[in-house]
Amino acid sequence: MAVQGIVVENVSRVFGGLKAVDGVSLTLARGETVAIVGPNGAGKSTLVQLISGVDRADSGSIHVDGVRTDRLSSDRIARLGVGRSFQTSRVFPALTVWDSVLVGVQPGLIERPSGRLIDPVTESLGALLGLGFWRRRVKAQEAAAEAALKLFGDRLWPRRDQPALSLSYANRRRLEIARLLAAEPRYLLLDEPSAGMNPTETEELTHLILDLRRTHPQTGILVIEHKLSMVRRIADRVVVLNQGRVLIEDKPDHALDHPEVVEAYLGK
């Protein structure tokens, strides 16, 4: 049987002479939340780029549920159920909040010049199979989008008809996560989801992730996070990266209170 989970084995990525990621191995099982912490430049974002296929490893291997992915395109990896957010917020400026999430439900959606989103698969299959099929599929997509927006209480749902660009920064970050969740990913990779959030917003995000763990018990979450009090509350395991290498991997309190970790942070 294929090994479940994301399995990263001895992966390296060199930029010029710099080993940004240097022989890293880690695993992420479904249902598990793993936090990656470490000083700026430790290689955290690069590692997420490699897992999501946005960048390629120079050596080592990555498997997702037994499928080797380190030479696959980011689209293929997304279709294997790996959803990832970026360190800096990315929203589609022209789309409404609602359409932004609908794009997440069905990554194949394309925007017509009229601004209407269409799903080419549904349109062609719908033509073959009849209108009932098309309507059912659209209904299912809309239900998934609604559920994803409502995960954030009244933050996003009442604003669904507004342009994504009109949202506050924190709401844009929420929208990105909603868009990822709408696709019902098996694995969620979040690169500093709390970046730029104030303490109240960070607290809400912490609760969201704790809620997700309850409502999506089969989803594996890999989160890069600087706010260590949040890491202590959400993570099952912590991987500390320093200069491209895994310094320590352990339960949150063990990892974060380890003298070498304290030094790696304070030494910066």
DSSP H helical ranges for the chain? 44-52, 74-79, 97-105, 120-129, 131-150, 169-182, 199-215, 228-234, 252-256, 259-266
Counting contacts by CB under 6 A, is residue 53 touching ligand ADP? Answer: no
52 binds Mg ion (CB under 5 A): no
Give the nearest distance from C-beta 74 to Mg ion in angstroms. Answer: 17
**One residue of 32, 33, 34, 44 binding ligand ADP per CB under 6 A:** 44
User: Among residues 197, 204, 196, 190, which one has the least CA distance to residue 235?
Assistant: 190
The answer to whether 45 contacts ligand ADP (rule: CB under 6 A) is yes
d(CA 37, CA 232): 11
| Among positions 45, 85, 100, 141, the unique one binding Mg ion when judged by CB under 5 A | 45
Residues 155-174 that bind Mg ion (CB under 5 A): none
| Dist. CA 66–CA 260, nearest whole Å | 34
Residue 182 corresponds to which amino acid? A
Q: Which of 12, 27, 33, 46 binds ligand ADP (CB under 6 A)?
A: 46
**Per the structure block, which two tokens stand in for 85?**
């957010």
**CA–CA gap between residue 204 and residue 197 (Å, rounded):** 10
Annotate each residue in 54-93 with x if it binds ligand ADP (CB under 6 A) or - if it does not, as one string. ----------------------------------------
Residue 126 binds which of Mg ion, ligand ADP, none (CB < 5-8 A, kind-dependent): none
193 binds ligand ADP per the rule CB under 6 A: no
Q: Does 41 bind ligand ADP (CB under 6 A)?
A: yes
Please tell me whether residue 96 binds Mg ion under the rule CB under 5 A: no
Interaction partner, residue 43 (ligand ADP, Mg ion, none; CB < 5-8 Å by kind):
ligand ADP
Scanning residues 1 to 40, which ones bind ligand ADP (CB under 6 A)? 15, 18, 20, 38, 40
DSSP string, 12-72: EEEETTEEEEEEEEEEE-TT-EEEEE-STTSSHHHHHHHHHTSS--SEEEEEETTEE-TTS
Interacting residues toward ligand ADP by CB under 6 A: 15, 18, 20, 38, 40-46
